[in-house]
Amino acid sequence: MTRRILLLELLVTAAALAVAAFMWPHLPALIPTHWDAHMRVNGYSPRWAIFLVGPGSMAATMLLTAAQPWLSPRRFSVDAFQATYRRVMLILFALVTWLYALMFWSALGHRVDAGRTVLGGICLFIALIGNLMGKVRRNFFIGVRTPWTLANERVWNATHRFAAKTFVAGGLVGLALTIVGLNGWALAGLLTGALAPVVYSLVNYKQLERRGELSEPLLPG
């Protein structure tokens, strides 16, 4: 599976690079690269930046996917959930590709409803990630990484089972609200789904602490 994913990402990155090179003469001197809280363009960059934010970001995501297993410290390795880790990073790669496609389309002069397209893509990303949360094991790179989840594996596992529900719910509700144009409420739903597990991890940790069930040291040796 790993080789198939790598090949797919390489092909998509190469295609993005080829399209950007082919369409280079049709790009304006300045392209939109930043949007404000209301999803209105408020920042531009030279057109060569399309290679950086597109194929460059996609290649960086691939490099990060390959580097994190090596960078992981002992007992916090992503090797313990390798298949899930690869799926999470593939979803991240897909999000980067989606955002690049929207930016490229906008750079060509086409009108883009950034509020719906960008926020909708992020909502879907959160929902898909949530579907995998319960399988994510303790590590320093992905998941709900709070002081309490990192300190205790039991808290980590309970928090991520809870996060699986809140991420999926927040993402799907946010996506539905985005489709009907309620972007502010969609963002509120996303934030609620993302922050609820943080609070849960603290409460769960303190409950275990009060019952004297925290047998694991803060930093395992």
Residue 43: its H or E element = strand 41-46
- The mean pLDDT value of the chain amounts to 87
pLDDT digits (tens, 9 = 90+) for 125-138: 999 999 999 999 99
Report which of 125, 123, 52, 51 is spatially closest to residue 89, judged by C-alpha positions.
125
Cβ neighbours for 69, distance < 8 A, ≥ 6 positions apart: 77, 78, 79, 82, 85
Cβ neighbours for 186, distance < 8 A, ≥ 6 positions apart: 119, 123, 173, 174, 175, 177, 178
For residues 43 and 32, the answer to whether their CB atoms sit within 8 Å is: yes
Domain boundaries, the chain: 1-111, 113-221
Which residue's entry shows tokens 């950007």? 20
Lowest mean pLDDT among 53-67, 110-124, 190-204: 110-124
Residue 40's pLDDT is: 67
Torsion of CA 103, 104, 108, 110, to 10 degrees: -50
Residue 1's pLDDT is: 52
The answer on pLDDT for 36 being more than 70 is no
What's the maximum distance between 2 C-alpha atoms anywhere in the chain?
67
pLDDT digits (tens, 9 = 90+) for 160-194: 999 999 999 999 999 999 988 888 899 999 999 99
